Every structure is written in C-alpha cells, then in structure tokens.
C-alpha cells in the first residue's frame, strides 16, 4: 500500500540484523491523521539523511503491521521512497545534479547561454526527430540549420560549416536507424513528454524505440559504457515509463560525434549507439538522487560542489561558479572571486530568489492538477476544453501535423491562440497526449473549429492548459544578470543609493499637452531612468511613440518592450505613425504572437546566419515582449534605452529582463490599475525572512545583514512592480499624464477622485461633454430613462450562483438590446464581468465584446456594461482590489452601466461611494 504525509520526526540511523534502518514519523492524509511510524530499510535509509520535518514523504508498496495496538509501516523490496513528490524535478536537472549539484544550481541561475555546442545540439536533435518521422536527411539538415540562422549568426558561424558538422553527427543517427529498420521490429516515437505524479519527475525523452528511451548526445564517447549522467537521464525516462506500465529495461545513448572521429586518431569504442540495461538498483539510485535534489529545494539551501566528486579544474562553469560564490559569499568547491554584494543587494537577491521559487511551486501545482482534478473539475476551472470532436488531420512538410477538432458548445477556458497546450485523446496523463501549439480557437460560439499543430497525430478530444516554467526561469536569469552581473552605477539608483540624474536641454515635442511634453523631455534627458505615470486614456501610447521617435533622432538604439505582445504591437503601431522608418525597426518574437499588421517587421529567425544577425544588429528600434528579452540571443544585445510599456503589470525581475539590456530606461504604467499577476500567496520577498520595512524601519533582517537606512528601504515583492517601487523611491523622476482623451466628464469623476487625487481631467471640452447621442444615428431619447445618464446603476435583483448570476446576464443582454435599439452599433458596446463563468453566461446572450477586467485593460468602448455578479455580500478576492474596478470603470467613453446588487455593493465603503456616484 501507499503511505504518504508530512514528516514530523526523523529518527537516527540504526542497524538491525545487519541492515540499516531509520524510523520516520509522518502524519498521513495530508497531515490530518495521527502520527505513524514508517521504517525505511537499507538503501532507503540514506534518504533519511536529508529528510526534514515538514517535507512530504511517499512510500509505495509499504507493508502495514500492528505493533502494540499501533499501525506502523515499513519499506519492502518493491517500495519506492519519494521526498516532496509534488516538487517536479526536470530530468535534465537530475542529469546535471549527478555531475555536480552546484552545476544544477548555476544552470538554474544563469540559464543556458548562447554557445555554439548548445545551438548545434538543438539542431542535431531536431534533425534526429525529423529522421524518425521519415524526413529526408538533406531536407532536414537544410531546414533545421536554417531555422537556427539567427542564433548561429549571433555566434558568428556560417551556414555551410554548421551543415557539414551536423551532417557528420546525423550520419550516426542515420546509420543506426537503418540498422534498426532492417530488423523491421522497430517502433519509434520522437520527443515523448512524460510527467510522473509518483516520482515527482518530468521531462521529454528524445525518442522511444520499442517503448524504451533513447537519448541523443552530440558529444563523443569512446568508452563501451554510456556516461553515468547520461545513463541517469535515460533511466529517469525508464522509471516514468514503468509508472505508465511500460517495461523499459534497456536504455540507449547515441553519441553522434563518434562517427565523425577518425579511427587513426582515436582509440576505443567508436560505435555511436551504446545500450545499457536499466536495473532496479539504478532506478532506485535515480529516485534517491531526485530526493536529494528535492530536499535541497525544500529548504532553499545552496549546493557547494563538495557533494560531488566533480573536478572543478575541467568544469566549463568554473568561472561562473567562482563569481557567484564570490558575489553571494557562498561556500563552493571552486572557490570565490570578486567582491561580495552589499548587504541590501544580497537581501534583494535572496528575497526575490525565494519568491520566484515559490512561483515555481505554483507552476508545479498547475501540473499536479492535470491528474488531481477530474475532467469536469478542470473544465469548470477553465483549464480544459472537453468533448471535442476530431475532424481531420493534415501532415505538414517536415512531418508535423495540423489537427482540427470541433468545439461542441460555448465552452471557455484560459487557453489562447499561440499557447502551448496538451492535446489528448481524452486522457492527458495516461492516454495519448501530445504537446501542441494552438493555431486557432475559432470564436466563442458553439461549433467553432479548433486548429492545433503537433509532432504526432493525436485524436484531439481534449485540450488542456499545459503549465510552463519558462517565465519563472526567465525571472531568475534576469535577477542573476541584473544583480550579480549588473552595472554598479545602475544598481546605485535602483537601490536608492544615488538619485537619478537628468541632463540636456528641454525641447518642445508635443505642443498641446504639457504633461506629455514633460514626459518626453524627462525620458530623453534621463541619465538613469524616467517614469511616465499614465492613467486611463491619457495618451500613454502617443507619448511612448513620441519618446521613441525623439530618442532615435538623438541617435539612440532603443528597445521597446511590454508584458504582452498586444501592448508591444500597439506601441509599435503608434511609433510607425510618427514616421520612424520601417527599415530601422525589427519586431522580435514568435510569429504567431505578433499582430498581423506588424508581421512585416518580424525578425525571421530562419535564414542565412549573417543576414539574420545583421538585421537585428542594424535596427535602431527593436520591439519584443519582456519574455523575449530573456532569450539567448536578446540577452546578448545592448541598447542605449529600454522603454517598457505596461510596466506596472510586470514583476520587478521580469522588468529587469528588459532593462538589463540598456544603459537607461523609461517605464510607462499606472500602478492604480492591475498589478503583476502573482500565483504564490504572500509572494512577498521582504516578509519572507528579511524583516518588514514598516515594522522595524527597514533596518534589520534575520541575519542582520541589512543596514539600509530609514523609510527608503525598498518594498520587495513580486506583486509590487519596479514601476511602483521607483515611483515611491524617486518621485522626482516621474511625470503624471493628467489629461485624459477617453471619458465623458461624468464617467471620469469617480476614478479621478478615488485613484488620482482628483488630478485626472478631460483633455478637452469635447472629451468632457461627449454623449451617446454624438454617435451617428443614435437617438438618446429612445433609451429607457434609467440608461440616459452617462453613468447608470441597475439592480436586477439577481442571485449569485457560483461565479455566475443569470439574472444579471439577462439584464445585461437586455441593456445591450436597448442601446442597439437606440441606434448604437453592437460593436461599440462592451461588457465586463469579474469571472470567466459570467463572461460565458453573457456571451451566450449577446454579440458584443464580453470579457474579464484583466483582458479589458488597455481597451475601451463607447458603451460599457459591468456585471458585478455578487449578491448579499462581496465575497471573493476579486472584489478586494479596487484597482481592478478602476480598470473596469474607465473603459467607457460615453455610457457606463453598472449592473449589480445594491445590498452587496453597499456593504463595502469603496463600492458604496461608487454607488453614490452612479446613482447621483
């Protein structure tokens, strides 16, 4: 049987009858049951060395016995002992951990750098996959080398030399494949994604041959046996396959460089393919190693390198290792070089490190929901689209597949076009599942067609959200680059040790809006940074465009970035309208994420390396999301200025990803609108072991290693953007855009008072006085009296049912009809609801745009109808943050209708004031 629960006590190691044993006490049922003893025998006793109170322990095939009226458990020869099974360790991490635990840590911190062996390795892997899918070798090489054009260009390689090298590597693959086909018993799968709920492992096997793992290595190995770390990697996949009921007792490593070696120069076994048998001893070792890694992550301790027999002298990471040890004053086998970080920087680094790792655990929790939630629960949670009907499949050049399916109803989910998702035959964990990219989701209407692309054809009956650690990984590398490698001068201003400076003459860039003109001046004159605080509709985009133009004219190379592709394209469009030459601009990112009308600026990654890289290097303006700024190629780029839009929605480390690349930066945002999305509760680095700024004046920490003075001690948490923090730290570097071009006076009054101290005002008389009857063909008198005021409140006496309120949805639909009947175009009407379920409820009834607040930020409509859903009381975190309401209320230009329960809204002071305003 399986026994599982948090550890409450770890006993000492003993021997009995010649065998080692350790007794642990755990509380089964997630800590709810009474403590019980679990005895770990023999090799599993080792796992107790790093087990700690609070960690989760799982023992499979445990034997239960009664002893003096108590039930106890012990391991049997069939048992697996897993620590922290919920922490999903990547197979590649296990591999680097066995080489040297510190290497694992360093890889995590500094990411995979742009190096030729890395890029070549990716190309050879892709070619391998192509060959397995039956593609012609030359075709595959041609295509895959071209695909890596940009990266190869950045490394200074030309196409032919790479093609030749890849061809030599691929020869090994081809030869070996031919051998396999001769026997005609080979079955192949390329790129097989595996996740293990039991062992807390995940990864993608390069290939499966007859159900057994095959790993490709682009290095050489002239020994008969595969390298140990490579065996470990293949064994991880074998373990996960076993969990799925596939007996995988053989692993194969393919060392592709072996075929390129000359017999005359090399001795040893030059055969590229090396098989080994995967025995129970090795599998148990895999699990114990993973346990060791998970235990280190549990208490966030840092490996020193002494754990491994690694020889630092021959390690590629030696320099990085020594620098990191030096900066963070860590013990390490390689030693330390350089100066340690000042205490406040170290606290910052460590605080954010932990907050980012907490986010990682939330991503792992997302994975877990794949098997913990049943299909209906996932659908209700918007994590899956169910009951799809597979339509057709089409093989694409290169062996990939385009798959179509029909969506049966108006089901909604978090899935978006361009997302990577898990397509399956109905069971994403045990059935046939493939990672795919969503090409199209159709409209929200029933019968819509879904199109995805995947490596293998699968009957698409279900589509699941597939979590990714990419953004977490990128935050960590940005933190590393910004703090450990960052420019000291930049850090002085970020840490408030120096005030930001400005220089140069003031000029007139914008003649009809003083605040905007001030903002452009501040940005162009900034030696360090400038902040542009733009409430709704105040011309942020326009100001950004003018700023970018001015900077380019001053001869600066500019990076234009934002959190979302949508914001990047929006800003870019405005920049183009100012007349900046298209030849000077490139848009970096994946093509499917870029708006159609900006794709002509897209930097193709595929092509001739020299051409690709010059296109990037020669651009005076590069536009990319902050996530793209963390790519291998972008991390090597340098800019004079980084301008970041939607900066108030970015976590501080995510912002670093963009500003690390530039000497100066400009952040544009509004911290009175939506903050960064953070999953982990209390994602607050400061409070996590670094004392609270408020409580102790920001002076002390647990380790006593912060001596920052006074109230300038920064507020560090992922939900406070760098924009907001700097706004508080250096108000002199900020300009408030105070004239809005969107809302009628009556609409803006409340948000202006509540969020901007009344400073926000209409830019012109026309803006202030606009009304619904200004719209062509609209007769305001045709509206029912209660909708004639620009701000109206309607209480339909509905009842909240879960996250919906059908009566409100009916009433919203009726209001839409009433506006349409008065002559308003349905396209000019938008409806906003706090929950996706209510969005679906309303969408079913109207053709107008309906969405959640989060997805409405940044857009506006002539008429906005807000459905509040709540009745009786305002329960739920969604109502706790008034900034969310600020966004909802400021989307309307001429008419705003609030639909809700007066009782619920009246129960909170903020909403009560809102009601008063709406009912005036």
Ligand X SMILES: Nc1ncnc2c1ncn2[C@@H]1O[C@H](COP(=O)(O)OP(=O)(O)OP(=O)(O)O)[C@@H](O)[C@H]1O
Q: Which is nearer to ligand X, 510 or 616 (CB)?
A: 510
Q: Which is nearer to ligand X, 513 or 805 (CB)?
A: 513
Residues 759-788 that bind ligand X (CB under 6 A): none
Q: Which of 47, 516, 561, 719 binds ligand X (CB under 6 A)?
A: 516
Residues 6+ apart with CB under 8 A from 651: 475, 676, 678, 718, 719, 721
CB of 536 to ligand X, least distance (A): 4
Are 277 and 235 in contact by the 8 Å Cβ rule? The answer is no
- Choose the stretch contacting ligand X; rule: CB under 6 A; options: 298-306, 507-515, 676-684, 797-805: 507-515
- Choose the stretch contacting ligand X; rule: CB under 6 A; options: 3-11, 150-158, 506-514, 819-827: 506-514
- Choose the stretch contacting ligand X; rule: CB under 6 A; options: 212-220, 292-300, 449-457, 508-516: 508-516
354 binds ligand X (CB under 6 A): no
Of 415, 485, 489, whose CA–CA distance to 448 is shortest?
A: 415
Q: How far apart are CA 625 and CA 541, in angstroms?
A: 16
Quote the tokens at residue 421. Answer: 């998702």
- Phi then psi dihedrals of residue 20, to 5 deg: -80, 150
What is the x/- site pattern for ligand X, positions 42-81, by CB under 6 A?
A: ----------------------------------------
CB of 513 to ligand X, least distance (A): 4
- Nearest-CB residue for ligand X: 539
Q: Which helix (H) or strand (E) holds 3?
A: strand 3-10
Residues 481-500 that bind ligand X (CB under 6 A): none
CB of 856 to ligand X, least distance (A): 10
As a whole number of Å, the end-to-end CA separation of the chain is 67
- Choose the stretch contacting ligand X; rule: CB under 6 A; options: 273-281, 310-318, 509-517, 701-709: 509-517
CB of 775 to ligand X, least distance (A): 16
Q: How far apart are CA 842 and CA 817, in angstroms?
A: 13
CB of 890 to ligand X, least distance (A): 7
Are 72 and 39 in contact by the 8 Å Cβ rule? The answer is yes
Q: Which of 110, 336, 477, 513 binds ligand X (CB under 6 A)?
A: 513
- Choose the stretch contacting ligand X; rule: CB under 6 A; options: 99-107, 151-159, 511-519, 797-805: 511-519
Of 165, 173, 160, whose CA–CA distance to 131 is shortest?
A: 173
Q: Which is nearer to ligand X, 400 or 742 (CB)?
A: 742
CB of 726 to ligand X, least distance (A): 19
Q: Any bridge partners for residue 404, and if so which?
A: 451
Q: Look at the block and give the residue holding tokens 């590597």.
A: 169
Q: Any bridge partners for residue 867, and if so which?
A: 899
Are 91 and 233 in contact by the 8 Å Cβ rule? The answer is yes
What is the x/- site pattern for ligand X, positions 857-896, by CB under 6 A?
A: -x--------------------------------------
Of 191, 93, 138, 847, whose CA–CA distance to 456 is shortest?
A: 191
Q: Which is nearer to ligand X, 538 or 547 (CB)?
A: 538
The dihedral sign for the CA sequence 26, 28, 34, 37: negative
Q: Which is nearer to ligand X, 462 or 549 (CB)?
A: 549
CB of 568 to ligand X, least distance (A): 13
CB of 569 to ligand X, least distance (A): 13
CB of 648 to ligand X, least distance (A): 11
CB of 528 to ligand X, least distance (A): 24
Q: Which is nearer to ligand X, 606 or 769 (CB)?
A: 769
Sequential DSSP letters for 675-728: -----STT--TTTTTS--HHHHTT---TTS-----STTS----TTS-HHHHHHH
Of 681, 705, 702, 708, whose CA–CA distance to 690 is shortest?
A: 702
CB of 815 to ligand X, least distance (A): 23
For 75, counting Cβ atoms within 10 Å of its Cβ (0-12 exposed, 13-18 middle, 19+ buried), the class is buried
Go through 782-813 and write b for each residue having 16 or more CB atoms within 10 A of its CB, e for each that does not.
ebeeebbbbbbbbbbebebeebbbbbbbebbb
Are 649 and 884 in contact by the 8 Å Cβ rule? The answer is no
Q: Which is nearer to ligand X, 529 or 542 (CB)?
A: 542
Residues 532-561 that bind ligand X (CB under 6 A): 534, 536-542
Of 868, 867, 858, whose CA–CA distance to 890 is shortest?
A: 858
Q: Any bridge partners for residue 196, and if so which?
A: 201
- Choose the stretch contacting ligand X; rule: CB under 6 A; options: 346-354, 510-518, 636-644, 791-799: 510-518
Q: Which is nearer to ligand X, 763 or 794 (CB)?
A: 763
Q: Which is nearer to ligand X, 424 or 516 (CB)?
A: 516
Q: Which is nearer to ligand X, 477 or 748 (CB)?
A: 748
Of 674, 683, 685, 637, whose CA–CA distance to 658 is shortest?
A: 637
- Choose the stretch contacting ligand X; rule: CB under 6 A; options: 227-235, 425-433, 531-539, 675-683: 531-539
Q: Provide the 3-class DSSP secondary structure of residue 82.
A: strand
CB of 880 to ligand X, least distance (A): 23
For 847, counting Cβ atoms within 10 Å of its Cβ (0-12 exposed, 13-18 middle, 19+ buried), the class is middle
CB of 543 to ligand X, least distance (A): 7
CB of 196 to ligand X, least distance (A): 44
Q: Which is nearer to ligand X, 640 or 854 (CB)?
A: 854
Q: Which of 183, 267, 313, 512 binds ligand X (CB under 6 A)?
A: 512
- Choose the stretch contacting ligand X; rule: CB under 6 A; options: 162-170, 188-196, 443-451, 512-520: 512-520
Q: How far apart are CA 838 and CA 831, in angstroms?
A: 10
The dihedral sign for the CA sequence 580, 582, 585, 590: positive
Distinct helix (H) and strand (E) counts, the chain: 30, 35
Residues 6+ apart with CB under 8 A from 602: 586, 587, 589, 591, 594
Relative to beta strand 201-209, strand 212-217 is antiparallel
- How many residues would you count in the chain? 920
Residues 152-191 that bind ligand X (CB under 6 A): none
Q: Which is nearer to ligand X, 538 or 803 (CB)?
A: 538
CB of 512 to ligand X, least distance (A): 5
CB of 578 to ligand X, least distance (A): 12
The dihedral sign for the CA sequence 274, 280, 283, 285: negative
Q: Which is nearer to ligand X, 454 or 520 (CB)?
A: 520
Q: Which is nearer to ligand X, 641 or 887 (CB)?
A: 887
Q: How far apart are CA 298 and CA 6, in angstroms?
A: 12
Quote the tokens at residue 332. Answer: 């390490």
Q: Which is nearer to ligand X, 540 or 725 (CB)?
A: 540
Q: Provide the 3-class DSSP secondary structure of residue 293.
A: helix
CB of 626 to ligand X, least distance (A): 17
Q: Which is nearer to ligand X, 72 or 857 (CB)?
A: 857
CA dihedral angle for residue 503, residue 505, residue 510, residue 514, rounded to 10 degrees = 70
Of 578, 568, 570, whose CA–CA distance to 520 is shortest?
A: 578
Q: Which is nearer to ligand X, 308 or 743 (CB)?
A: 743
Q: Which is nearer to ligand X, 252 or 673 (CB)?
A: 673
Q: Look at the block and give the residue holding tokens 């993973």.
A: 290
Q: Which of 741, 773, 788, 823 binds ligand X (CB under 6 A)?
A: 741
Residues 806-835 that bind ligand X (CB under 6 A): none
Binding footprint of ligand X, residue count (CB under 6 A): 14
CB of 723 to ligand X, least distance (A): 14
Q: Which of 3, 386, 510, 588 binds ligand X (CB under 6 A)?
A: 510
- The site for ligand X (CB under 6 A) is made up of 510, 512-513, 516, 534, 536-542, 741, 858
């Amino acid at each position: 049987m399986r026994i599982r629960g948090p550890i409450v006590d770890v006993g000492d190691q003993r021997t009995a009858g010649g065998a080692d044993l350790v007794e642990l006490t755990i509380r089964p049922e997630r800590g709810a049951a009474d403590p019980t003893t679990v005895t770990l025998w023999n090799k599993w006793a080792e796992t107790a060395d790093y087990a700690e109170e609070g960690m989760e322990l799982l023992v499979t095939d445990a034997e239960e016995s009664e002893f003096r009226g108590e039930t106890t458990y012990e391991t049997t020869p069939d048992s697996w002992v897993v620590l922290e099974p919920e922490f999903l360790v990547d197979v590649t991490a296990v591999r680097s951990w066995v080489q040297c635990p510190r290497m694992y840590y360093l890889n995590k911190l500094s990411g995979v750098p742009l190096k030729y062996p890395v890029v070549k390795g990716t190309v050879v892997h892709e070619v391998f996959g192509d060959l397995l899918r039956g593609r012609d070798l030359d075709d595959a090489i041609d295509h895959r080398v071209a695909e890596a054009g940009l990266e190869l260009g950045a490394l200074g390689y030309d196409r032919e030399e790479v093609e030749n090298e890849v061809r030599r590597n691929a020869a090994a693959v081809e030869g070996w494949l031919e051998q396999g086909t001769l026997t005609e018993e080979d079955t192949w799968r390329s790129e097989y994604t595996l996740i293990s709920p039991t062992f807390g492992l995940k990864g993608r096997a390069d290939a499966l041959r007859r159900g057994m793992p095959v790993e490709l290595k682009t290095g050489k190995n002239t020994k008969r046996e595969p390298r140990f770390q490579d065996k470990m990697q293949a064994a991880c996949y074998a373990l996960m396959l076993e969990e799925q009921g596939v007996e995988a007792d053989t692993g194969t490593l393919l060392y592709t460089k072996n075929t390129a070696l000359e017999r005359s120069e090399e001795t040893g076994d030059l055969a590229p393919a090396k098989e080994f048998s995967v025995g129970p001893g090795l599998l148990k070792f895999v699990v114990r190693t993973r346990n060791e890694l998970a235990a280190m992550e549990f208490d966030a301790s840092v490996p020193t390198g002494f754990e491994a027999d690694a020889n630092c002298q021959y390690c590629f990471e030696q320099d990085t290792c020594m620098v990191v040890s030096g900066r963070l004053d860590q013990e390490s086998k390689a030693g330390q070089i350089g100066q340690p970080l000042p205490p406040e920087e170290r606290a910052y680094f460590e605080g954010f490190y932990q907050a980012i790792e907490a986010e990682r655990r939330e991503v792992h929790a997302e994975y877990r929901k794949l098997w913990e939630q049943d299909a209906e629960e996932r659908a209700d949670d918007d994590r899956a689209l169910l009951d799809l009907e597979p339509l057709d499949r089409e093989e694409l050049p290169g062996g990939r597949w385009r798959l179509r399916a029909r969506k049966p109803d108006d089901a909604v989910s978090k899935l978006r076009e361009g997302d990577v998702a898990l397509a399956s035959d109905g069971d994403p964990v045990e059935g046939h599942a493939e990672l795919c990219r969503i090409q199209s989701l159709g409209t929200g209407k029933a019968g819509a067609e879904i199109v995805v692309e995947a490596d293998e054809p699968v009957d698409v009956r279900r589509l699941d959200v597939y979590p990714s650690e990419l953004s977490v990984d990128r935050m960590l590398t940005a933190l590393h680059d910004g703090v450990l490698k960052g420019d000291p001068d930049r850090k002085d201003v970020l840490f408030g040790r120096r005030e930001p400076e400005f220089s140069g003459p003031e000029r007139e860039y914008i003649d009809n809006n003083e605040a905007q003109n001030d903002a452009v001046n501040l940005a162009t004159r900034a030696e360090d940074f400038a902040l542009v605080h733009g409430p709704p509709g105040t011309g942020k985009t326009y100001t950004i465009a003018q700023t970018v133009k001015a900077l380019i004219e001053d001869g600066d190379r500019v990076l234009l970035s934002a959190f979302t592709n949508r914001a990047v394209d929006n800003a870019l469009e405005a920049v183009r309208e100012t007349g900046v030459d298209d030849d000077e601009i490139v848009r970096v990112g994946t093509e499917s994420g870029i708006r159609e009308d900006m794709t002509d600026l897209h930097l193709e990654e595929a092509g001739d390396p020299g051409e690709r890289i010059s296109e990037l290097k020669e651009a005076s303006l590069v536009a990319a999301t902050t996530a793209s700024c963390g790519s291998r190629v972008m991390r090597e780029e340098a800019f004079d200025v980084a301008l970041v839009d939607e900066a108030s929605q970015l976590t501080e480390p995510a912002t670093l990803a963009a500003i690390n690349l530039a000497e100066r930066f400009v952040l544009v945002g509004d911290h009175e609108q939506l903050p960064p999305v953070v999953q982990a509760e209390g994602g607050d680095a400061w409070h996590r072991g670094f004392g609270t700024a408020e409580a102790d004046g920001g002076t002390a920490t647990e380790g006593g290693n912060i001596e920052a003075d006074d109230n300038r001690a920064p507020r560090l948490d992922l939900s406070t953007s760098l924009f907001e923090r700097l706004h508080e730290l250096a108000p002199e570097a900020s300009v408030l855009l105070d004239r809005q071009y969107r809302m009628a006076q009556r609409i803006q009054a409340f948000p202006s008072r509540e969020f901007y101290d009344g400073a926000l005002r209409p830019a012109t008389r026309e803006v202030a006085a606009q009304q619904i009857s200004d719209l062509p063909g609209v007769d305001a008198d045709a509206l029912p009296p209660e909708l004639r005021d620009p701000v109206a409140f309607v209480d339909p006496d509905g009842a909240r049912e879960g996250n919906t309120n059908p009566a409100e949805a009916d009433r919203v639909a009726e209001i839409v009809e009433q506006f349409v009947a008065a002559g308003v175009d349905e396209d000019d009407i938008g409806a906003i609801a706090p929950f996706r379920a209510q969005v679906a409820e309303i969408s079913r009834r109207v053709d107008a745009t309906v969405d959640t607040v989060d997805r409405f930020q940044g857009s506006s409509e002539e008429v906005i109808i807000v459905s509040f859903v709540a009745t009786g009381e305002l329960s739920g975190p969604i109502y706790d943050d008034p900034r969310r309401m600020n966004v909802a209320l400021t989307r309307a230009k001429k008419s705003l209708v609030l639909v809700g329960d007066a009782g619920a809204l009246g129960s909170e002071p903020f909403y009560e004031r809102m009601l008063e305003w709406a009912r005036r």
